[in-house]
Chain A
Amino acid sequence: MQALALAILLFPAAGAVFLGVFNWRGSRLLTAFVGPGVVWAAFVCVLILLAGGVNQDFTYWTWIRSGSFSVPFDILIDHLSLFMCLVITGVGGLIVTYAVGYMEHETDGSYARFFCYMDVFVLSMLILVLAGNTIFLIVGWAGVGLSSYLLIGFYYWRRSAVVAARKAFVMNVIGDVGMILGAFVLFVSYKQVVYGPLFGALPKSDGGAVELAAFLLLVGGIAKSAQLPLHTWLPDAMEGPTPVSALIHAATMVTAGVYLVARFHVLYDAATYAHAAVAVIGAVTALFAASIALVQTDIKRVLAYSTMSQIGYMFLAVGIGAYSAGLFHLLSHAFFKALLFMAAGNVIHALHDDQDMRHYGGLWNDMRRSSVTFLVGSLSLAGIIPFVGFFSKENVLGEAFSRGDALGYSVWLIGFLTAVLTGFYTGRMWWISFWRPAAPERPVAGHLHEAPAVMLIPVAILAVLTTIGGALQVKAVGGWALVDDFLRPVLGEEHITAVALEYVATLLTLVLAALAFAAAYNFWIRGSWNVDAWRARLAGAARVLEHKYYFDELYDRAFVRPLDRLARLADREDRSVIDTGVVDVGTYTERSASSLSLTQTGFLRSYVLVFVAGAVIAAGLVLWRAQG
C-alpha cells in the first residue's frame, strides 16, 4: 500500500519524463497512449487505495534535516486527499483522453510537448493534495503555477498567449508568497510542518498567529482559485488550448484554494475573522463573476467567468464551515464544467477555432451529440433539477441558510442572486450558440463535422455523471449524504438538520433560475423582449460589465504602468551609468595597450639588444652585490 501511494505520483512523473525527454521525435501513437495512460494508471492506484480502506500518513524518508528542523517526505492518504485524487485523475483522465483528439492538428513535437505538460500539471496537482506537510504542499502549489504557465503559453508564438501566461504566473506567485509566509508563520508559532502534529498543536481559540496564518494561506488560495481581487488571470487563461481550460477549470488548479481551506479546517475553525473572510470573498466573487458573464461574447470566457462564480460558491461553503458541501460542489463542478468545456471544444474545433458565440448558431441541428451534452452541462450549471449542479448548489445554499445568523443569511442572499444570474447567462449562452439558426458569420456554413469518438466518449461519460451524480447527496427528508459521510472522518462535521424554510428557499432558487434560463429564450430567440432596447436602457451598467468592472485597467494603472516606467528608467540609467563605466574600462585598456604595443618594433636585433642589456645589468648587479 505504501508503494501504491507513491505510485500515484510516479505514474504521471514517469509519463512526463518519457514524453519530455525521449519522445520529442517519437511516434504519435505512443504519445497518445502514454499521455492519458499514466493518468488512468494513477486513477487505478487511487481506486485500489480506496477499496483497501487505506487511511494513513506514509512517511518514506527524511527529506530535509537541518539541526532540530526536519521535514519528512510523506504522503497523506485520507478520505479528503483520496476524494481530491479521484477528481483529479478521473476527470483529468477524461480530459487528457479528449485532448488526444483535440490536439490532432499539432505537429509531432508540439503533440508530445502538450501531453508532457498535461502530465506535469496532473502530477503537480496530485502532489498538492497528497502532500503530508506544509513544505511539500508548497512544492505542489508552485508546480501547479508553473505548469499552468507552460500550458496557457502553449502557443508561444502568439503574443497574447505569452502575455496571458505571464499574467497567470505573476498572479499565482503573489499567492505563492502568501502560502509560504503562512506556512512560515505556522512553523514559527507551532514548530510543526507535518499536518497531524500541526493540527494537534493549533489552539482551539482565536489568536493573532492563527488569524495571520489563516489570512496568509487565504492569499494563496484566492490567487490559485481566481477569487477577488486576484482573479484577472483566469479569463485570460483561455488563451491555452481548450483541454487546458477544462483541466484548469474543472479537475485541477482552481479547486486548490477550496482544498486548502478544507485541509486546514482546524485552523479556519479557530480563526473566526479569516474564516468569515473566506465566505465573504467567495460570495462576492460569485456574484461579481456571474454579472460579468452576462455580457461576454467569447464562449470560453463565459465559461471562465462561470468557473470563477462557481468557485465562489465553494469558497462560500467552506467559509461558513460547510466543508463537505463545498467539496461536493467541487466534485459536481468538475463534472459539468469539464463537460461544458469539452463540448464547447468540439464546437470550436468544428468551427475552425472561432470562439465568438455571435458567429455560432444552428448547432442543434448540425452537431446534435455535442449540443445535447452541452445542454446537460448548461442545465447543471444553472442548477436545474435533476442534474448534479442542482443538488450541490442547493446543498451549499441550504447550509448557508440554515446557519441562521447574519453571515449565513447575507451570503445566502448573494448566492441566491448569483443562481438567478447564472440561469440567465447560461440560457443566453445556450440559446445563442446552439438553438438560434446559423449566423451569417459562421465560419463553416454547411455541414459540420461532429467530433470523433475519442472526443465524444469522454464528454458522454461526463454527461452521464452530471445527470446521475446528484444521487450522491439528496438531503431532503429521509435522504442521504454519501459525500458528507465519506468525508466525515477528516472533517468531523455534524449533519445540520434542514429547517422547513430551507425547502422554500430551495424551491425559490430553482424556479427563479429556471425562469431566468427561459427568459433568455425570450430575449435572444423569440425576440419578444428587445435585447438592444434593454441594453440601451442599462448602457452604464453594460459598459461597466463589458470592462469587467475596470479591474484590468486599475491594475494596469496601479501596478503595470508604474513598474513599466521604473523599468524604463532603470534601463536608461543602466545605459548611461553602468554601461558607460564598463565601456570606459574597455576603452582605456585598449588605448594603453596600443601605446605599449609601440615597443614591439618587429626588429629582431633590437629585442636581442634589450635582452643582452638586461642580462648585463643583472650580472652586474649580482657581481656588485658579491663584491659589496
Chain B
Amino acid sequence: MIDEKILAQMNGEYVMPPDAGPAWRAAYEAGIDVSLIEVNLQKTPWERLLANDAALALIRVLENAKSPNPGA
C-alpha cells in the first residue's frame, strides 16, 4: 500500500522544510520552484557558475536548431 503523502510528493508536492523562513515561504507562495534552488544550494558556487555556462551552451544549440539555416 503506497502512503498517500509519499505518493503526493512523488507527484510533485513540495514539502516545506519546518525551519523555512518567511522569504523562503513567500518565494514558494509566489510560484518559484524552490526545490530547484535547494538543488543549486547543494552545489558549490563554482559548480553553479559552470552550470550556467552549460545552460547557455544548450540555449545556443537550440537557437541554432530553430534558425532557418542551422549551422550557418
A and B together in one complex: no
Q: Which residues of A are at the interface with B, using a C-beta cutoff of 8 A?
A: none
Q: Which residues of B are at the interface with A, using a C-beta cutoff of 8 A?
A: none
